Amino acid sequence: MSDTTETGPMLAADGTPLKVSLNRALRRQKLRALALIAPLLLFVLITFVVPIGSMLFRSVENEIVRDTLPKTVAALKNWDPSLHELPGEPVYAALAADLKVAVEEKTHTKLGSRLNYENPGMSSLFRQIGRSVKKWDLATDAPFKEKFIEANKGWGDFSTWRTLKTYSPAYTNGYFLNAIDFEKGPDGIRQREGNQKIYVTLFIRTLWMALVIMGSCLLLGYPVAWLLANLPNKTANLLMILVLLPFWTSLLVRTSAWKVLLQQQGVINDVLIWLGFISDENRLVMINNQFGTIVAMTHILLPFMILPLYSVMKTIPPSYVRAAKSLGATDWTAFWRVYFPQSIPGIGAGAILVFILSIGFYITPELVGGTQGVFISNRIAYHISSSLNWGLAAALGTILLAAVMLLYWAYDKIVGIDNVKLG
């Protein structure tokens, strides 16, 4: 009997082989873990990830031309814009038929404002022709070519038709080209003129200001973190409150504080006058420019630099620096060659965190940035809520998100998302 049990598979209490039983238990455990995660994962996926994905998809989507003018798009297929000739009567007739439907559904003005982003003037062209088309009879009023050109010379303009043709496919790279200051000219894609390069300038400014903010946070945060890590615990905990209080204070409170302080009639100017540094007539302009944004955002993001630096510095044993000094290093050499290299992970974590947070900032630049101190986010908000050019906003947003994701990936490599510490 003992022979059979030794050669056969090991059995669990209920008689199944132990391996099978163990596998089953593991599977059950996995399923239980997934079941606990599932509600939240679905919630985040449905209300956050998918909406953002579909919003970003608007940056290439261009179905409006095809949906509003299906017959025209079909007729334009055979038209070759490289010949520099106006399309023939069939295209005009198709457009008349399409517009008849569009005017009834009131979609032609929407299409007009969509095409207006690409070719200024299209919006009024469509609005006007809508009124004329209402009076036309499709069966009796042909041919339409002259009628269109009579109603508005724009319909006899070659560029109008080229725009329609260029934007008739369901997907376009037009928004992305716009977002990096390129346009689709008569002879292919070309860069915009110098003074129209607003987005590249804005991206560079956003990156540059985020770098400046990161640099000033590091400059101010490093000494403080060092002090906190090297003081006795009791004093450090007290001083820590001075770092954590701004961290917990509402963003708008801090922004309003800076708005109040930096004003021309504000406290800082008053103090400077009282000290005699400036005269009453030459009050400094410190708000509604880049300076205001940088100061306010450095203040807002400083705790995000200090906290990771502090948590890394806390783990550096003080005996290393003492050992260096006992071996004859000066204070500076001991710091630079021994202490500083060990604090680099903290610098990396803090710097990337501050950089990620600052390139996506919206509220503070909007309130204290004026025109020169705004970020790419403010432009996205403008296109979403004021100019309603959602495709361009989505393209700008995609580029911004890609930059943030890249940094996030770097952050994950250096620090690990699991190691993010709060408070």
Partner 1 sequence: MSKLPPYASTGQITWYYSFRIICALIFFFLIAPIIIIIPLSFNAEDFFTFTRKMLSLDPEGYSLKHYQDFFGNADWTRPLTNSLIIAPIATLVSVSLGTLAAIGLSQSHVPFRRPIMAILISPMIVPLIISATGMFFFYAPLGNWMEANLGMSRDFVGYVKVILAHAVLGIPFVIITVTATLVGFDRSLTRAAANMGANPVTTFFRVQMPLILPGVISGALFAFITSFDEVVVVLFVGSATQKTLPWQMFIGLREQISPTILAAATVLVVFSIALLTTVELLRRRSERLRGMSPS
**Cα–Cα distance for residue pair 107/64, rounded to 1 Å:** 9
- CB 292 to partner 1: min, Å: 12
Smallest distance, Å, CB 220 to partner 1?
5
Provide the 8-state DSSP code for 140. T
Smaller CB distance to partner 1: residue 5 or 29?
A: 29
Complex with partner 1: residue 149 or 207, whichever CB lies closer: 207
Closer residue to partner 1 in complex, CB, 4/332: 332
Instruction: Say if CB 151 and CB 132 are below 8 A apart.
Output: yes
Nearer to partner 1, 126 or 175 (CB): 175
Q: Which CB, 182 or 258, lies closer to partner 1? A: 258
The residue among 114 and 165 lying less far from partner 1, judged by its C-beta, is 114
Omega of the bond leading into 143 within 30 degrees of 0 (cis)? yes
Judging by beta carbons within 10 Å of its beta carbon (0-12, 13-18, 19+), is residue 311 exposed, middle or buried?
middle
Place of tokens 């596998």: 23
Picking from 411, 307, 414, the residue whose alpha carbon sits closest to that of residue 352 is: 411
For the bound state, the minimum distance from the C-beta of residue 17 to partner 1, rounded and expressed in Å, comes to 20
Cβ closer to partner 1: 153 or 314?
Answer: 314
**What's the min distance (Å) between Cβ of 118 and partner 1?**
21
Q: What are 312-321's contacts with CB under 8 Å, separation 24+?
A: 312/342, 312/343, 312/345, 312/346, 312/349, 313/225, 313/226, 313/228, 313/229, 313/230, 313/343, 313/346, 314/229, 316/229, 316/342, 316/343, 318/230
Residue 342 Cβ, how far from partner 1 at the closest point, in Å? 16
Q: How many residues does the chain have?
A: 423
Residue that has been written with the tokens 């309003």 in this structure? 256
Taking the least distance from each CB to partner 1, the nearer of 74 and 257 is 257
Our CB check for partner 1 shows the closer of 317 and 423 to be: 423
Angle at which helices 233-248 and 198-230 pack, to 10 degrees? 150
Task: Measure the CA–CA gap between 128 and 126, rounded to whole angstroms.
Answer: 5
What whole-number distance in Å separates Cα of residue 104 and Cα of residue 91?
A: 20
SS3 of 190, please?
A: strand
Helices marked H in 231-317 — which ranges?
233-248, 251-262, 267-275, 290-313
Alpha helical stretches, state H, 276-329: 290-313, 318-326
In the complex, minimum distance from the CB of residue 160 to partner 1, in angstroms, rounded to a whole number: 30
**Alpha-carbon dihedral angle through residues 386, 391, 394, 399, given to the nearest 10 degrees:** -120
Longest dimension (CA), the chain: 107
